[in-house]
Amino acid sequence: MGRHVTFTFNSNKYQGTGATERFTFKQLGIDEDIDDKTLKREIDKKFQAWVWDKLNISFSIVIGEEDELNL
């Protein structure tokens, strides 16, 4: 059957906000034979993307110089 991972999140701040979903490594595009350190990094990336998608989060970061702000 292969390995799988279950992602879950809940918000203490926003009641009723949460989700749980189970994925096979194949569904996530993760090689089952990679080392543990790389596996953790890959799963962390996939989890963050999954949570952001569930919460429909978008953001931007703008970095500028003080001169640009006429300060």
Domains contained in the chain, number: 1
> Which has more pLDDT, 56 or 44?
44
Cα 5 from Cα 62, distance rounded (Å): 35
**What does the angle CA 48 – CA 27 – CA 59 come to, to the nearest 5 degrees?**
25
Confidence of residue 1 (pLDDT cuts 50, 70, 90): low
What is the Cα–Cα distance from 52 to 38, expressed in whole angstroms? 21
| Averaged pLDDT, 10-24 | 88
Q: What is the mean pLDDT of residues 37-61?
A: 88
Find the domain containing 20 and state its range: 4-69
Span 18-45, pLDDT tens digits: 889 999 999 999 999 999 999 999 999 9
Average pLDDT on 42-50 reads 93
Which token pair is 51? Answer: 């949570």
Helix (H, G, I), strand (E, B) or coil at 20: strand
- Closest of 33, 57, 54, 29 to residue 43, by C-alpha: 29
